Structure 1
Amino acid sequence: MQSINLERLQESIEIWMQSFPKEAILLHGVEDSRLQFVFAEDGSLNLMRKTKEGESYFHNQKSPLNEALEWAYSLKLTNETVVYIYGIGLGYYYEALHDWLKEDPERAIVFMEDDLSVLKMAFSTSEVQKILKDDQVRVIYFQNLADADEAFDPLYWDFVMTQMSVSALQYYANERRDQFVELKQKIVYDASIRNGLVEEYLKHGISFFRNYYQNLLLVSESWKGDELFGKFHGIPAIICGAGPSLDKNVEELRNLLDRALVFGGGSAMNALSSRGILPHFGIGIDPNPTQQFRLSTNKAYEVPLFYRNRMHHEAFKLVHGPRLYIYGAGGYDIADWFDERFGLQGEWIDEGHNVVNFGIELAIRMGCNPIILTGVDLAYTGMLAYAKGVVDETAIEEEVLKTDDFDTTAMLKKDIYGEPIYTLWKWIAESNWIGDFAKEHRSTEIVNCTEGGLGMPGVRNMTLKDAKERYMKRRFDLKSWVRGEILSAAMPGLTQERVFEEVEFFKESLIRSRDHLDVLIEDSKDLKKKVENEERIPQILQSGLAALSELELSEEPGYEYLLDLFNNIYSRILNKELHRIKTDSEDPCKMVVLKSTLNIKRLQFLKEVAEVNIQIIDFAVQERKKSLVGA
């Protein structure tokens, strides 16, 4: 039996400490007497864990390398750039993928391990030490999935918009199947969310700004939604989702409209209004065209709607009831500038993952207590996707659960009754958000009265009937109360003319920003050309005019509240290329040329963002003025 090489272990720990300092220090004190090195039949090293059932080997005991080679072949890698592997073992999977990895410097392998004792054993081997020294490989430690975001989040940025494969050490795939399935779901889901956001930014944010400016130009006709904050202390709130379990509570809900504030967001408005139930409030933050279809087919046009300007602009125009503006716009800073100019700014509000999460945030700020959830299945309860009234066909086919798209492939979990139920990773994330929110707001009781579905960690389950007997004994004239509070929430002297003026001011700032970017682009081109022609680096890398333009650009509202966000995103995307330039290029002149090329690329992208916004503003203003003439 081979013992741990302490000298090599210390060298490995020092390398790994650069990425995981706290965990690296802990490795010295980690002990697991069940783990030991053994030799496979072909004489190579293997790792074995003693269990009650016997001996478990981390690699095939006949030949660890052959197992790894067969695994690598089974991946059928084509366009993938990064391979995530759950379990590091003794590094044989790295050896099996080594040739593939070195064919392209853009490729990467990420080993993910949740057992420090395994890492300690692995770090003492020469093969794993080679892994730690390879710039194309990461070794990530996570204690559990709930706390894995800190370790995984940088990876999503480093490998954004790339193809991936998520696999596992064969031993882990067999012995820890459930953990692996959840880990794979999480990585694919989180990466797709990040990719979706970055893709939106790389497309200059057109889908957001198209909604934002058109809705912004209507803000003077809205009411201040945050004026309702703190006005309903101790009043129960019922947040309705559109899950299939809503059907069993429709009649109970009908009798609670004078006992609790009822919120319906998105599809839930259709499910409720199709049964003749009009909630006290609707919620609109969905930027997608489906929001327009859903609003056009429900009967709740007059229901007061909490909204943000990212809501689909055509859907927004269908709202006939009071529009209750909520400051901010998830993921974009531009709303902060306009909110401040109009006197509408307030404390940051997290949208969460969907309208239910946002509804919980709003209800707690309004002073509601308890907050009761119904129709929030977060699962395919009874093999149904929605409650009745949302879509014509709510049942799902079993084939839907077995799609090739892992992001939308359902997984089996246990529902609130301990029975198996199909859910998606995005719903698990939403469930965890509610559980975390409840933990952070213990003074407000959050109760799940869905009576089915996935449930939320730490949130009490109860029938809606029991919740009524416990929390909703008093009656209120809530319809009149809501109407009165809205009438007291007028915009603070905000006129249509003022909105036009501020939008024009911001557009002019974008035009000046674009002009400054032109100066910086030309200056970078001149530097690049000069170094290429003269093969030397000038003492002054930036002209006085460019330096002044850079300073003035940074002070423009159009840059600070819009372009700077895109600059940060694009710079992070270019970081890998910049790192490669610094690593691969030993010629100082060549390095300056390559860095100038990247800088020009970044500046041109920012110029495009400015131009897109200028055009969208012009169109939105033109459309708004047309509507005023026709009014």
Structure 2
Amino acid sequence: MINCYTLDKTKDNYNILKINKDDKKLYLGSKYKENEEVNKIIENQGIITENTNYIVFGIGTGNLVRELIKRKDKNSKIIIVEVDEKLLEFIIENKAVEDLINRSDIIITSKVNDMLDNAGKVINEMNVEFFRMIETTNYAKLYSKQLTEYFSAIKEFIVKVCIERNTIKMFSLEWYNTLLENMKFYAYGKSILEYKDKYKDRPAIIVSAGPSLNKNIDLLKSNTNNLIITGGRPLKALCEKNIKPDFLTIVDSSEASFDIVKDWIENIKCPLVMNETTSSQATKIHKGEKIVATRNKFIKRVFDNKIDTIDYGGSVAHSMTYFAMEMGCNPIIFIGQDLAFTNNKGHADGIEQFENNLDGYGRAEDIYIDDIYGEKVRTSLVLNNFRLQLETLIKLRENITFINATEGGANINGTIVMKLEEVLEKYCLNDFNKVTLKESISENRTGKIVKELENILSSMKECKKIAKEAIKIFKEYKNTYYLNKNEKLNSLNNKLNKLDLKLKKSYADTEILNDLVFDAMYTINNNKKYLINLTDSKSEIVKKKFDKNEDIYVVTVELMEMIIPKMEEEIKKILMI
């Protein structure tokens, strides 16, 4: 049935849209009390703050959006998603939303991908918790099937942003300390780019510790015509079965990531693929070659940009996969890559450091997705996000065959599902030389590293100095404001603006502090005592702004005082190498 759209008037004199769809006739709004209905929807969103952004599903005649514009902060954005393109054409042609179309704070879209692209420009780690999703009245009753895809997509996007935010907040200080402690290995380590295409068209097996690993790990004993790339968690199982990996990859800085390898890594002879966040305890006791990667600009300068990152997703599996891709491996074979709670387990048996049942892993927000057999399997939001990121990574290399030989777990789009035994018989028949680059002499980059770190240290000290000066001037500015000495305010304001510009420049020169700075600024920007609500009085707004700005300077000083000693200590250690 062709949808029929009609413009009408409500009893309280609002324009309203009537839709005849699939034998359903409904108004997008309230025919009798539109003003009351719109206000109720907005009030149900809770407190509106300066950080709040919105996605509104269903454009209607724009009544909901117009009221939202009146109440929102001037910098907040509204993304209007209209899933019915013909409805959108009708509304625009009839000039029902002409006042909304060219506003800088309004984005109107209809496609899922366009919605996600625009959401990415508006919603980020700093403001994600203030994001609000609103529906026009009766919209879900008419478009429930279409909305399922949109809701699923935006949920995946929000989950990804939240995971990234939570990860930074949890590990920012640990990453900083780990990076500095790992610098000595960047002085002599092999750049990941030195391995580019070294194993062109050779099969690589990516070993993860999912619940299904026990099904086929023993098959790796008898067939060595492949590269085995493992993460830290499966290392114990491999070593106990006398299976020698060709590359060990660790990208996690946590104590737990070291605990699972500490009894085995010292005797592992294969290279360690690492980045700046790899456990520094693991890098210290690993005796073999180090293959280094980075996303840090200052380390890239040390390597004259002849180095790459392996941070292509949230887990070590993504890093291992990207490394195999860079080496030219084909096919790339996954085992133990369940990305789900297969048989209600979180990982392969025999890894005692972790709970292995849903009591230890399961969460109320877990979801069910398709497994490799077309059935449903339980997974977490984090694991599902890993799956989606792995699928995105796979799409980067259409010339490579990716095989899911896990024999259980989630279906991974872009992979061929096969049993490992069949894979080995088909793709792993020919022997080949497995050589590392250990024999070649590495460049000594110690001098370059120290120079870069000393420059960063200088900028850190400058940040501290500027922030201390700003605290003094800002206190004077506050006193002057409350004493109504307006003639002096402009002079003090100009001084603060100049200091802010200097501070911003010095922060830019301390790029390795980005995560720490984010953590500090997030805490301030999202502190309820500083959040400006649209109901705040002028005096309340002024006080919140004053307190927030002063806290930014204070936190800057405290942050620098905490991290400068570590930088000075590690520079001395590097010079002693």
Q: TM-score range by the shorter chain?
A: 0.7 to 0.9
Q: Name the CA distance, whole Å, in 2 between partners of 1:593 and 1:568.
A: 23
Structure 2 residues without counterparts, runs of 5 or longer: none
Amino acid at match of 1:370: P
Kindly indicate whether residue 348 of structure 2 is the aligned counterpart of residue 387 of structure 1. Answer: yes
Q: Name the CA distance, whole Å, in 1 between partners of 2:243 and 2:115.
A: 42
Q: How do 1:434-449 residues align onto structure 2 when only pairs under 5 Å count?
A: 434-449=390-405
1:419–1:547: structure 2 CA closer, same or farther, 3 Å change rule?
closer
Q: Name the CA distance, whole Å, in 2 between partners of 1:76 and 1:547.
A: 39
CA contact (8 A) 2:54 2:134 kept: yes
Give identity over the alignment, percent: 18
Kindly indicate whether residue 109 of structure 2 is the aligned counterpart of residue 141 of structure 1. Answer: yes
Q: Name the CA distance, whole Å, in 1 between partners of 2:145 and 2:477.
A: 58
Kindly indicate whether residue 63 of structure 2 is the aligned counterpart of residue 88 of structure 1. Answer: no
CA contact (8 A) 2:186 2:292 kept: no
> Partner of 1:117: helix, strand, or coil?
helix
1:487 match: 439
Kindly indicate whether residue 483 of structure 2 is the aligned counterpart of residue 514 of structure 1. Answer: no
Amino acid at match of 2:85: L
Amino acid at match of 1:320: H
1:160 match: 127
Shift of 1:281: 0.9
CA contact (8 A) 1:166 1:184 kept: no
Shift of 1:300: 7.3
Kindly indicate whether residue 212 of structure 2 is the aligned counterpart of residue 262 of structure 1. Answer: no
CA contact (8 A) 2:190 2:291 kept: yes
Shift of 1:262: 0.8
Shift of 1:611: 3.2
2:194 match: 227
Amino acid at match of 1:306: V
Q: How do 1:326-365 residues align onto structure 2 when only pairs under 5 Å count?
A: 326-329=292-295, 335-341=296-302, 345-365=306-326
1:238 match: 205
Cα deviation code 1:313-341 (max 9, x no counterpart): 33443x42325242324xxxxx3224423
Shift of 1:454: 2.6
1:280 match: 246
CA contact (8 A) 1:209 1:616 kept: no
1:320 match: 286
Shift of 1:212: 1.1
Q: Name the CA distance, whole Å, in 2 between partners of 1:498 and 1:106.
A: 43
Once the two structures are overlaid, the 10-residue window that deviates more, 42-51 or 90-99, is 90-99
CA contact (8 A) 1:271 1:388 kept: no
Q: Name the CA distance, whole Å, in 1 between partners of 2:521 and 2:438.
A: 44
Shift of 1:159: 6.4
TM norm structure 2:
0.76
Q: Name the CA distance, whole Å, in 2 between partners of 1:529 and 1:267.
A: 58
Q: Name the CA distance, whole Å, in 1 between partners of 2:564 and 2:149.
A: 49
1:340–1:272: structure 2 CA closer, same or farther, 3 Å change rule?
same
Determine which of 366, 383, 404 is the counterpart of 2:327: 366
1:336–1:65: structure 2 CA closer, same or farther, 3 Å change rule?
same
CA contact (8 A) 2:405 2:419 kept: yes
Amino acid at match of 1:487: E
CA contact (8 A) 1:523 1:546 kept: no
Kindly indicate whether residue 6 of structure 2 is the aligned counterpart of residue 37 of structure 1. Answer: yes
> Partner of 2:390: helix, strand, or coil?
helix
Amino acid at match of 1:614: I
Cα deviation code 1:520-540 (max 9, x no counterpart): 565666667667754246589
Q: Name the CA distance, whole Å, in 1 between partners of 2:302 and 2:390.
A: 33
Q: Name the CA distance, whole Å, in 2 between partners of 1:71 and 1:276.
A: 66
Shift of 1:464: 2.3
Q: Name the CA distance, whole Å, in 2 between partners of 1:402 and 1:574.
A: 29
Q: Name the CA distance, whole Å, in 1 between partners of 2:153 and 2:245.
A: 38
Once the two structures are overlaid, the 10-residue window that deviates more, 32-41 or 423-432, is 32-41
> Partner of 1:157: helix, strand, or coil?
coil
Cα deviation code 1:440-474 (max 9, x no counterpart): 32333333322333333333333323322332210
Cα deviation code 1:380-420 (max 9, x no counterpart): 233322122334676544896561xxxxx222222233222
CA contact (8 A) 1:388 1:394 kept: no
Cα deviation code 1:499-521 (max 9, x no counterpart): 66764554244224433454556
> Partner of 2:337: helix, strand, or coil?
coil
1:224–1:238: structure 2 CA closer, same or farther, 3 Å change rule?
same
Shift of 1:306: 0.4
Q: Name the CA distance, whole Å, in 2 between partners of 1:399 and 1:33.
A: 51
Structure 1 residues without counterparts, runs of 5 or longer: 1-31, 330-334, 404-408
